[in-house]
Amino acid sequence: MTDLGPVTNPASAQHRLDVELGERAYPIVIGRGLLTDPEQYRPFVIGRRVMIVSNETVAPLYLEAVRQGLADFETAEVILPDGEQHKDLATLNRIFDALLEQHFGRDTTLVALGGGVVGDMAGFAAACYQRGVPFIQVPTTLLAQVDSSVGGKTGVNHPAGKNMIGAFHQPRAVIADTDTLATLPGRELSAGLAEVIKYGLIADRPFFDWLEEQAESLRALEPAALATAIARSCRNKAQVVAADEREAGQRALLNLGHTFGHAIEAGAGYGEWLHGEAVGVGLVMAARLSRRLGWLDEEAVSRVRRLVSRCGLPLVPPADLAPERWLELMAVDKKVQDGQLRLVLLRGIGEAVLTSDVDADLLRASIQSAPADAL
């Protein structure tokens, strides 16, 4: 078996990573039974009042556990509707309403309890409330645990594009309790695995190899495998982010599969496709386009396609998305620089590159043949 190194605490399969960002450095703790543990929160809460931001799906399952962990503090909560379609300025404003109605001052800590949408909105609310208060991420989906918790990206969607309005705001800590994945729908678990695969593809071939061995253990929620996959993904992302906090260069590699993915999500209407599902298709499309450029061999494309499929992810993009609409949706994406589309593609498994070299006709051809290629 591919050895991915020891865990921090073998007895509990608990991992701890420190994201190095100077005075904004923070820890990520990954393991079981963390939600109710006061020690996970105490060092990171500023002030005595905590506003827990959650949603209608997650709050009934885990709000009590988090309240228990925060028993030393005065807590209140704001429960948002669930779903990406609510990740907008109007829903964000409900967090501000709750904070102001209850006279929360500047010495308030927000706790984001939920998936990526809750994390992005609570984080953005923390970035903007009185021009910035601290927050703690308590991600309860695999996607949020591997991805949204690292990098400090927060924000909301605009009808014209995802995450177009937001801020960089680092959490004070990330508490990733793998027990919460027990209640995660299988479709969402798979969506999270798409981001995990992405980290192997970008810059960590041994991790990709390991994932090929562990795909079934991960889908079966084997705790040690989950904790290892999350920790390794976070470490990969944290390394990129620490080197490039503001996304000038290397950080763009994290968008592997995402330019295609965002177009799928937007084209199908937010909420139809899960983000990770769209990314999974995007990874395969990026591999196929890399193949068309002669950068990847057919065997590597097959490995990507197989692993995405074994993780329970769809391979076929929406059939009703016309190529011109695809290109239009990709053009509004943040990866546009002065009208020039930049894409992240693969020169090998574990070797992603940012390129502006893609000919528009080649891209169009690749999009046109994507549904057939996927079969």
Residues near a second copy (CB under 8 A) are 47-48, 89, 92-93, 96-97, 100-101, 103, 105-107, 127-132, 153, 155, 158, 160-161, 163-168, 246-247, 331-332, 334, 336-339
Is 15 designated active site?
no
State the nearest-atom distance from the C-beta of 52 to a second copy, in Å. Answer: 19
* Binding-site annotation: residue ranges: 82-87, 116-120, 140-141, 153, 162, 180-183, 195, 258, 275
Name the strand (E) or helix (H) holding 53: strand 49-55
Catalytic residue among 258, 291, 303, 335: 258
Among residues 15, 49, 172, 275, which one is catalytic? Answer: 275
Q: What is the DSSP string of 216-231?
A: HHHHTT-HHHHHHHHH
Q: How far is the CB of 71 from a second copy (least distance, A)?
A: 19
Cα separation, 54 vs 47, in Å, equals 20
**Residue numbering of the annotated binding site for NAD(+):** 82-87, 116-120, 140-141, 153, 162, 180-183
Binding annotation for Zn(2+): 195, 258, 275
Min. distance of Cβ 125 from a second copy in angstroms? 9
| Tokens read off for 268 | 């199908």
The SS3 of residue 32 is coil
Known catalytic residue: 347? no
Please give the Cα distance from 283 to 247 (Å, whole number): 20
Q: CB of 131: closest distance to a second copy in angstroms?
A: 5
3-state secondary structure (DSSP) of residue 176 = strand
Catalytic residue check, 247: yes
Taking a C-beta distance cutoff of 8 angstroms, is the pair 241, 29 a contact?
no
Minimum CB separation of residue 128 from a second copy in Å reads 5
List 67, 157, 169, 195, catalytic entry:
195
Q: 262 or 303: whose CB is closer to a second copy?
A: 262
CB–CB of 29/175 below 8 Å?
yes
What is the greatest pairwise CA distance in the chain?
61
275 is catalytic: yes
- Region of 151 please: left (phi>0), alpha (psi -120 to 50) or beta: left
Tokens of 23: 């005075």
Question: What H or E segment, with its residue span, contains residue 285?
Answer: helix 275-292
Active-site residue flag, 335:
no
**Closer to a second copy by Cβ: residue 164 or 221:** 164
Q: Name the active-site residue from 67, 153, 198, 235.
A: 153
Contact 9, 20 (CB under 8 A): no
Active site residue 67: no
Q: Which is nearer to a second copy, 294 or 339 (CB)?
A: 339
Q: Least distance to a second copy from the beta carbon of 251, Å?
A: 12
State how far the Cα of 114 lies from the Cα of 138, in Å rounded to an integer: 7
Residue 58 · residue 11 · CB < 8 Å: no
Alpha-carbon distance of 250 to 288, in angstroms, equals 22
Which burial class, exposed, middle or buried, applies to 159 when counting CB atoms under 10 A from its CB (0-12, 13-18, 19+)? exposed
Residue of 232, 262, 291, 303 marked active site: 262
The catalytic residue among 212, 222, 247, 351 is 247
CB 287 within 8 A of CB 351: no
Q: Which residue in 49, 237, 291, 303 is the catalytic one?
A: 237
In angstroms, the CA 285 to CA 109 distance is 41
Minimum distance of a second copy from residue 164's CB (angstroms): 6
Q: Would you call 203 helix, strand, or coil by DSSP?
A: helix
Residue 353 pairs in a beta bridge with 345
Catalytic residues, by residue number, are: 131, 153, 195, 237, 247, 251, 255, 258, 262, 275
